[in-house]
């Protein structure tokens, strides 16, 4: 059974990104269909998969991470406008039976991602 998970790591402070709001959308042509709103736990993960079972289907998706609010709440003095405010990752799911893990490594001035396991 396929599933989608994520994990956020605050590389500026060497800790999990806890309390970050995450939005999930499915792209249907030019339309963004909202699928859920999540908040990362103390380990920088969500308590359950973002998608699994019948809701996990092949297609194009977006994960939006509200990292600007996270760093501001952590007391980081950020310029206005913030260099990174909401990080949007657009990715494809080709195999609806696979595990797609989409981690985000982030600091106030940069981020990276990859397909994890």
Task: Give me the average pLDDT of each 10-residue run along the chain (117 residues).
Answer: 96 97 96 97 98 95 98 94 97 96 98 95
Check residue 1 and give its pLDDT: 81
What count of residues does the chain have?
A: 117
**3-class DSSP state of 69:** helix
Check residue 100 and give its pLDDT: 97
Tokens coding 108:
């106030």
For residue 22, cis peptide bond before it (omega within 30 degrees of 0): no
Check residue 117 and give its pLDDT: 83
The secondary structure of 9-48 as a DSSP string is EETTTTEE-TT-EEEEEEEETTEEEEEEEEE--TTSB-SS
> Which of 72, 68, 64, 10 has the alpha carbon at shortest distance from 42?
10
Bridge partners (DSSP) of residue 11 are none
**3-class DSSP state of 101:** strand
Tokens coding 113:
């991602």
Domains of the chain, by residue range, sit at 3-113
Q: Which CATH architecture has domain 3-113?
A: Sandwich (2.60)
Check residue 93 and give its pLDDT: 97
Check residue 52 and give its pLDDT: 96
Calculate ∠ Cα 102-105-111, nearest 5°: 105
Check residue 6 and give its pLDDT: 98
């Amino acid at each position: 059974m396929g599933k989608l998970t994520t994990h956020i790591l605050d590389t500026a402070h060497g800790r999990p990104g806890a309390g970050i709001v995450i939005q999930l959308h499915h792209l249907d042509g030019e339309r963004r269909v909202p699928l859920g709103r999540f908040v990362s736990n103390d380990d920088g993960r969500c308590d359950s998969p973002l998608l699994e079972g019948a809701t996990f289907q092949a297609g194009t998706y977006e994960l939006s991470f509200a990292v600007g609010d996270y760093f501001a709440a952590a007391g980081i003095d950020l310029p206005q406008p913030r260099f990174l405010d909401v990080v949007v990752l657009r990715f494809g799911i080709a195999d609806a039976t696979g595990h797609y893990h989409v981690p985000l490594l982030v600091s106030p001035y940069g981020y990276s991602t990859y397909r994890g396991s």
